[in-house]
Structure 1
Amino acid sequence: MYHFSVAETHGVVHLAAEDQRLDGRIVTVGGREMVNFSSCGYTGLEMHQGLKDAVAEAVQRYGTQFSTTRAFLSAPQYAEAEAALTTLFGRPAAISASTTMGNLSAIPTLVGPGDAMILDAQVHRSVRMAARLTEAPIRTVPHNSLEVLERRVRELSAEYDRVWFMADGLYSMFGDFSPVGELGDLAERYEKLWLYFDDAHSISWTGRNGRGHVLDRLSPAALEKTVVVGSLNKAFGIAGGVMTFPTDELRHQVFSLGLPMIFSGPVPPPMLAGIVASARLHLSGEVAERQQRVVDRIRFFNREAVGYGLPLLNESESPIRYVVTGRDIESTATLVRRLQESGYFVNAASYPAVPAKRSGLRATITVHQTQDDILGLVQAIAKWLAGGAGQGR
């Protein structure tokens, strides 16, 4: 609570946009217009006219909501939307109200009493929440440590029916990727090892037709023992989450027995129409040009950040960029406030979202930003960063 209290005092959390109309690039807070470097809409599809038209037309046809749990009755476009996602991701898919609800549906349903779980130390908080709802033992391994993971898999395989390893495909704070290929190799070598990925942040902006980091890199054999949950609320441009499974049987199991699928509200019809439109857009190949624009902007940010001596946590080619400021939330919040005053809206990251020693600022790259926007942010960080990251090259 202390960290949030400090951030709140500095005016960098729990803020509200004041814009009467959004364009994806600018956000207004406290009367100040800023370039938005906090959006997870990396591809900018939330502003795509085709998606907006589909949503608007569905409002007229179906109304604003269809307030019946799917255990009894699904809204008209659910079947079409899930069929489109099944085609897009190349495996059985089910829509959840959000990625978090997808994790809370899938993990307690799939993990049996004879199973064990291994969690990456940086896996998303919603995966941890869902894991605690099971009766299975939980082990944690250091972030992306394949050596420790393999040792734990060997140990647990001797005692349990299945061993689930749970990780993010793209980690939401530090912006680094899971070693998906190596994890797939492990799954092929160890019969009892199953993989579970929260790949919310890589859907749409990367992978063939936007299927994301994980599904683009696993072998067919590894995919037979892998569940991937993603987000339709980020780069996909709409709302909701998507759960993908190796078999129709597992999909039906989670759809029928996952508690949020039974007891929580459904995705509204206008958003279902948007999901259909976005899936068609991805399958058409149109999204490839947006993917390249995202990658070009990421590479530009990385080059300039290195040139200005910014302490990047990593130089991965992901749209989540993390600048380390140290253990002091006070100085991190002050830096973020100064960046806001300079016209750049970024996020302060501190414990418990990240380890206490890795406080920093998190900036996200989208197609809405220009090179001048990105260069201006880098220069502003270099100017204001406590300890002096340099004033220029």
Structure 2
Amino acid sequence: MAKADEVLDRFDRLISEGVQRGLLHNSAEDERLDGRTVTLGGVPMVNFGSCSYLGLETHPALRAGVIDAVDRFGTQFSSSRAYLSSPAYPAAESALAELLGRPTILTPSTTMGHLAAMPVLIGGDDALLLDHQVHNSVRTAAKLAQAQGTHVEVIAHSDLGALRERVDHLRRTHRRVWYALDGLYSMYADFAPFAALDELMAEQEQLWLYVDDAHSFSWTGRHGRGRALDALGSLAAQRTVVAGSLNKSFAAAGGALSLPDAESRRRVFTLGGTLIFSGPVQPPMLGAVLASLHLHRTPEVAERQERLLHLIRLFNRLATDSGLPVVSHSEAPIRCVAAGSPAVAYNLAARLHAAGYFTDVATLPAVPAKRSGARITITTHHTPADIAAIVGELAEALPKALADEGQSIADLDWAFQDHRDERPVPLPV
């Protein structure tokens, strides 16, 4: 197994190559943003790299909420929440709890929420099974639980047979067996198999779920509560923690830790390290949180969800017609077009940039190197014409990128024949 320094050096070389090609570590040059375009090198580009899926970051109600909060509370409230929370916090957390239907903590980010919750809720008598593709922030928090004595394993992606086998084995010696997963996986955009998980949890009383649902909050689910809370039944929800992001489609800031009961909330708020020792969401963005939560209870957000779904379905239909190798054909606003090697992914992204489309590159460390791709994110700022244009550009650019790097569509078929990695990977200590 490669040493940690060797792994970091490999990441450094790959990411630095993307920086040198002008594909990573960019800054938008715009004096004013409209949500649809960004300017790089003096050239406006249609932005297919935003996670603000409902396009609410430019909404007048959110802007007004920020201005009102600054007017009333200033730019900053500099206190750990262990001592004192700013005046808008109780209202924001109460509104979040009402929308999600469960006790909720507003955290400075989803990552900070994981770091607060996992070491408190997952004890030394528990076992933790990490989905192979669970978000890096969950894996980082899992190391804290592991350091406290929690038994940690990594299992193949969305393999419920492997999950059942490990739960059957571990429940004999552990109080609870946790399965940590994403509700919507952020690179390939496949959803967790919640219907099957619901059935498995009914069979396995010691199975608990820890769900990072960051990428499905707001744009899907009743009032934007995401995929997990909508899909899981009441019995499973009683043994499930859901963490969501307000930094993405909610167009505000922070994370939401949705907990199954008031006592779990109390313990995490009392004992969670990042809630004791770190700063809070600041007043301007608490204003945005409140404004966004209010908006999510109106018909407008449901209409935006429908408009976004129409654009996603249009992309999927056109991509299928064009023969594009989309990794997952889910109806999610993240669309990953397979490229294979990092060299092809960078080549493809560069061609898209040259044609006037800003996109992300999915490669190490987010995905296996041989399964790199172009990551396109769709928002309600886009038009049907934008969708048709980028699909057309992808269909033209991908064969050229493959040819430039000495690869073919057959290589992609081999690399992505099953994007689950069946080999359990040990968690670095």
Same fold per TM (> 0.5)?
yes
Q: Given that residues 36 and 344 in structure 1 are in contact (C-alpha distance below 8 angstroms), is that contact kept between their aligned partners in structure 2?
A: yes
Equivalent positions of 1:34-49 (< 5 A) are 34-49=45-60
Amino acid at match of 1:117: L
Matched, 1:52 2:83: no
What secondary structure does 2:346 align onto?
helix
Question: Quick one: distance in 1 between partners of 2:94 and 2:281?
Answer: 15
Amino acid at match of 1:361: A
Question: Quick one: distance in 2 between partners of 1:286 and 1:220?
Answer: 28
Q: CA RMSD in A?
A: 1.2
Question: Quick one: distance in 2 between partners of 1:50 and 1:77?
Answer: 17
- Residue 177 of structure 2: which of 160, 163, 166 is its match? 163
Question: Across the two proteins, how many residue pairs are aligned to each other?
Answer: 389
Question: Quick one: distance in 2 between partners of 1:159 and 1:304?
Answer: 51
Deviation at 1:73, TM superposition (A): 0.1
- Residue 210 of structure 2: which of 196, 202, 213 is its match? 196
Matched, 1:119 2:130: yes
Q: Given that residues 7 and 330 in structure 1 are in contact (C-alpha distance below 8 angstroms), is that contact kept between their aligned partners in structure 2?
A: no
Question: Quick one: distance in 2 between partners of 1:188 and 1:73?
Answer: 41
Question: Quick one: distance in 2 between partners of 1:59 and 1:231?
Answer: 22
Question: Quick one: distance in 2 between partners of 1:346 and 1:129?
Answer: 27
| Match of residue 108 from structure 1 | 119
Amino acid at match of 1:242: A
| Match of residue 351 from structure 1 | 364
Matched, 1:77 2:91: no
What secondary structure does 1:286 align onto?
helix
Deviation at 1:342, TM superposition (A): 0.4
What secondary structure does 2:230 align onto?
coil
Matched, 1:319 2:330: no
Q: Given that residues 124 and 151 in structure 2 are in contact (C-alpha distance below 8 angstroms), is that contact kept between their aligned partners in structure 1?
A: no
Spell out, residue by residue over 1:67-114, the C-alpha distance to the aligned partner (whole angstroms, 9 max, x if none).
101000000010000000000000001100001101111111111110
Question: Quick one: distance in 1 between partners of 2:273 and 2:200?
Answer: 31
Question: Quick one: distance in 2 between partners of 1:286 and 1:310?
Answer: 33
Amino acid at match of 2:81: R
Deviation at 1:280, TM superposition (A): 1.2
Deviation at 1:282, TM superposition (A): 1.0
* Structure (1/2) with the larger helix percentage: 2
> Structure 1 stretch 167-176 or stretch 183-192: which is displaced more?
183-192
Question: Quick one: distance in 2 between partners of 1:278 and 1:5?
Answer: 37
- Residue 368 of structure 1: which of 374, 381, 396 is its match? 381
Question: Quick one: distance in 1 between partners of 2:36 and 2:42?
Answer: 16
Amino acid at match of 1:5: S
Deviation at 1:276, TM superposition (A): 1.2
Matched, 1:270 2:281: no
| Match of residue 33 from structure 1 | 44
Equivalent positions of 1:1-393 (< 5 A) are 1-134=12-145, 135-326=149-340, 328-385=341-398, 386-387=401-402
Structure 1: which 5+ runs fail to align?
none
Spell out, residue by residue over 1:305-357, the C-alpha distance to the aligned partner (whole angstroms, 9 max, x if none).
1111111111100000000011x212211210111110000001111110122
TM-score when normalising by structure 1: 0.97
Question: Quick one: distance in 2 between partners of 1:218 and 1:249?
Answer: 21
What secondary structure does 1:94 align onto?
strand
Amino acid at match of 2:53: Y
What secondary structure does 1:265 align onto?
coil
Amino acid at match of 1:154: D
Q: Given that residues 10 and 334 in structure 1 are in contact (C-alpha distance below 8 angstroms), is that contact kept between their aligned partners in structure 2?
A: no
Q: Given that residues 312 and 321 in structure 1 are in contact (C-alpha distance below 8 angstroms), is that contact kept between their aligned partners in structure 2?
A: yes
What secondary structure does 1:332 align onto?
helix
Amino acid at match of 1:237: A
Q: Given that residues 344 and 402 in structure 2 are in contact (C-alpha distance below 8 angstroms), is that contact kept between their aligned partners in structure 1?
A: no
Question: Quick one: distance in 2 between partners of 1:138 and 1:13?
Answer: 33
Deviation beyond 6 Å, 4+ runs, structure 1: none
Question: Quick one: distance in 2 between partners of 1:285 and 1:249?
Answer: 34
Deviation at 1:286, TM superposition (A): 2.5
Deviation at 1:237, TM superposition (A): 1.1
What secondary structure does 2:264 align onto?
helix
Amino acid at match of 1:352: P
Structure 2: which 5+ runs fail to align?
1-11, 410-429
Question: Quick one: distance in 2 between partners of 1:340 and 1:18?
Answer: 15
Q: Given that residues 6 and 330 in structure 1 are in contact (C-alpha distance below 8 angstroms), is that contact kept between their aligned partners in structure 2?
A: no
